[in-house]
Amino acid sequence: MKRKIGTNKTFDCVAFKRQAQEDIYRIVRNMTPAQEIGYFAKCAREGKLGHWWKQVKAAGGTSTAPKRTRRGA
């Protein structure tokens, strides 16, 4: 399968990521470490994935992915 080179991009992922990082930095740059932790905890609770995060915390884990077991050789 051949890929077309020189496609017009309508969304720049790297620029979006950098802008998001810059916005967050402006918010947290004068916070103490404890305030930063509180800020990010609040974002996790109240953000787009807040419902999912509550389910993960209630289940006592940090991920919904199944745990892998190590097989002997």
Q: Write down the domain spans for the chain.
A: 32-60
CA atoms within a 13 Å half-sphere pointing along the CA-CB vector of 27: 13
Joined together, the tokens standing for residue 45 give 């609770």
CA angle 54, 58, 62 (to 5 degrees): 75
Q: Any idea which residue has 């995060």 for tokens?
A: 53
Residue of 70, 22, 31, 19 whose CA lies nearest to 39: 31
Q: What is the pLDDT of residues 3-50, one digit of tens each?
A: 666 677 788 999 999 999 999 999 999 999 999 999 999 998 898 888
- 3-class secondary-structure state, position 67: coil
pTM of the model: 0.55
| CA 56 to chain CA mean position, Å | 15
